[in-house]
Amino acid sequence: GLVAFASILQTIYPNLFVQNFAIAVCILTFYVLIQKPEDAIDPQLEVFNSKSFAKVLDMNHRRNTEYTLIVCHIEDARLINQMLGTAKMDLILKNIAAFLENTSKQCVFYLGSSTFVITVYSGRNESFRLLQTIEKRFEKPWSAGENSISVSIRLMDIQLPDDIQSISDVYNYIDYLKELDNRQKWIVSARNVNLQDKRRNIEIEQCTRRALDEHNFEMYYQPIYNVHTGKIESAEALIRLRDPEFGFISPADFIPLAERTGLILRIGDFITSSIFCFMKNNDLQTFGIKYIEMNLSVIQCMQESFAHDFISKIEEYGIKPEMLNLEITETAAVNSPKILTKNITSLNRRGLSFSLDDFGTGYSNIRSLLDLPTDIIKFDKSMIDTATTDENGRLVMKSSIVMAKNLGKHIVAEGIETEEQIKLFTAMGCDYFQGYYFSRPLPAQDFLSFVRKFNFRDVYNANNA
């Protein structure tokens, strides 16, 4: 139409060369608007890609379209890739893509990470039939050249728009499906999934990032009592987060999330600087404190330069290495790669001592006691509670203490709350107690005041008298 109009105009006015200009405008319009097939299609699997999926989601959301998404996630793709190689894995994925497309007669999308999505517009009965057909097919092995292998999948149906509040919920459901383990059923319905935990994780991650930027983290110190001297001789440094909007957030919530997102390295830097600043500005030995226990993340220890950087920071603040005890969890000790062991050994040679934390939480391995240079074994509160109430628990606890003592380790009982526990675990041979019986974790200055009164109570009592 534009070219025809320009041709007529040029016929009437021969001096106006508008026809070629109109043709150029048309060509430019085609160039901008027409999408190249390779932009929408996964070139290897020959189904639609994640970019196309995002466009379909957005278009249907704006139109409030009723349809179903069937998500198909391959659970053991990484294992198959290791067994057969990338080429064979790609062939299996291509066969699965072809099957899903031929069976569904619908649009199939590949989102990467071994995850397919099918859009079903023909009603819920059809989506239910398709789920059953896919499940039945995956009960049989898949061919990859001369190899034949079983493939495990997880399926989910998402009814839109009923099952979502926003487009992001679709991706949250897909993430949820990918995180399930193989003990849970094959087919999961989105309507039975509570996304509250996922949203809560997003909020916690936002709070953690804000805390790092706005300095909302604080360090608290929980006293550790020496059975033999009757004094508070050390403390465990514990990080706390109190967000201006969401209030107190437990380390049990934000630490695992920070490890998954990589924020743990920034948190580790904050913890180290805060503890070293506290130790530099206060002569802890005058309070009777011999060392501060500091928790280490596995991810920190797995950094190639961790030991070197940590020693540099000790020297920068002028901290005596013997006044630091670094805690590593038993899980980390059992599964420690070479680089973690190398870092710990390097720090130990420079005078730092180590504790094995959370002992007895289900990952016990005698090699962790023998291979790593730990001086202290910290028995977890769950083991303490079991030993307090159960005879078999007491036998396990007592045997574990004897074993650790024979290996030359000192014993800390965590989570001590009663006089009964004090007597029981003193008789068993524990060297240190930590728990609410003595004190909750305290802010730095409150901790120093508590230790001064506790360790020099005879002086305080005499003065008050």
- What does the DSSP assignment read for 146-185? TEEE---EEEEEEEETTT-SSHHHHHHHHHHHHH--TTS-
pLDDT at 32: 66
Q: Is the pLDDT of residue 184 over 90?
A: no
Q: Is the pLDDT of residue 202 over 50?
A: yes
Q: Is the pLDDT of residue 365 over 70?
A: no
Radius of gyration of the chain (CA): 31
Please tell me the distance from the alpha carbon of residue 180 to that of residue 184, in angstroms, as a whole number: 7
How many C-beta atoms lie closer than 10 Å to residue 365's C-beta? 13
Q: Is the pLDDT of residue 334 over 60?
A: no
pLDDT at 366: 58
Please tell me the distance from the alpha carbon of residue 122 to that of residue 103, in angstroms, as a whole number: 14
Please tell me the distance from the alpha carbon of residue 226 to that of residue 39, in angstroms, as a whole number: 67
DSSP sequence for 33-93: HSPPHHHHB-TTT-SEEHHHHHHHHHHHHHHT--EEEEEEEETTHHHHHHHH-HHHHHHHH
pLDDT in tens, 349-362: 999 999 988 776 55
Beta carbons of 186 and 155 less than 8 angstroms apart? yes
pLDDT band at 256 (very low <50, low <70, confident <90, very high): confident
pLDDT at 35: 63
Question: For 200-359, where are the E strands, in sequence order?
Answer: 217-226, 231-243, 247-249, 291-295, 324-329, 353-359
From residue 74, alpha-carbon distances to 86, 115, 197, 220 in Å are 15, 6, 23, 44
How many C-beta atoms lie closer than 10 Å to residue 161's C-beta? 13
pLDDT at 363: 46
Averaged over 325-352, what is the pLDDT? 79
Please tell me the distance from the alpha carbon of residue 103 to that of residue 209, in angstroms, as a whole number: 45
Token pair belonging to 213: 């930027």
pTM: predicted TM-score of the whole model, two decimal places: 0.67
pLDDT at 332: 59
| More confident site: 35 or 418 | 418
Beta carbons of 119 and 106 less than 8 angstroms apart? yes
Quick one: which of 245, 260, 252 has its CA closest to 210? 245
Q: Is the pLDDT of residue 321 over 70?
A: yes
Please tell me the distance from the alpha carbon of residue 267 to that of residue 270, in angstroms, as a whole number: 5
Averaged over 186-202, what is the pLDDT? 75
The continuous run of DSSP H or E covering 143 comes out as strand 142-144
Averaged over 69-86, what is the pLDDT? 86
pLDDT band at 364 (very low <50, low <70, confident <90, very high): very low
pLDDT in tens, 149-158: 888 888 999 9
Q: How far apart are the first and last CA of the chain?
A: 105
Averaged over 369-388, what is the pLDDT? 84
pLDDT at 455: 93
Beta carbons of 399 and 429 less than 8 angstroms apart? no
pLDDT band at 460 (very low <50, low <70, confident <90, very high): low
pLDDT at 179: 75
Mean pLDDT of the chain: 87
pLDDT at 312: 95
Three-state SS letters, 204-248: HHHHHHHHHHHCCEEEEEEEEEECCCCEEEEEEEEEEEEECCCEE
Residue 198 neighbours by CB under 8 Å, 6+ apart:
172, 175, 176
pLDDT in tens, 18-35: 778 888 888 887 776 666
Beta carbons of 359 and 378 less than 8 angstroms apart? yes
The continuous run of DSSP H or E covering 286 comes out as none
User: What's the burial of 160, exposed, middle or buried (CB within 10 Å: 0-12/13-18/19+)?
Assistant: buried
Residue 312 neighbours by CB under 8 Å, 6+ apart:
none
pLDDT in tens, 95-143: 999 999 999 888 999 999 899 999 999 888 888 999 999 989 998 998 8
Averaged over 277-284, what is the pLDDT? 96
Q: Is the pLDDT of residue 297 over 90?
A: no
pLDDT band at 369 (very low <50, low <70, confident <90, very high): low
From residue 267, alpha-carbon distances to 191, 244, 297 in Å are 36, 18, 10
Token pair belonging to 259: 């490890």
Residue 377 neighbours by CB under 8 Å, 6+ apart:
355, 356, 359, 369, 404, 409, 410, 411, 412
Please tell me the distance from the alpha carbon of residue 433 to that of residue 328, in angstroms, as a whole number: 18
Question: In this predicted structure, which of 162-176, 181-195, 382-396 has the lowest mean pLDDT?
Answer: 181-195
Q: What secondary structure letter does DSSP report for 415?
A: S
pLDDT band at 273 (very low <50, low <70, confident <90, very high): very high
Phi, psi of 357 (to 5 degrees): -90, 160
pLDDT band at 187 (very low <50, low <70, confident <90, very high): confident
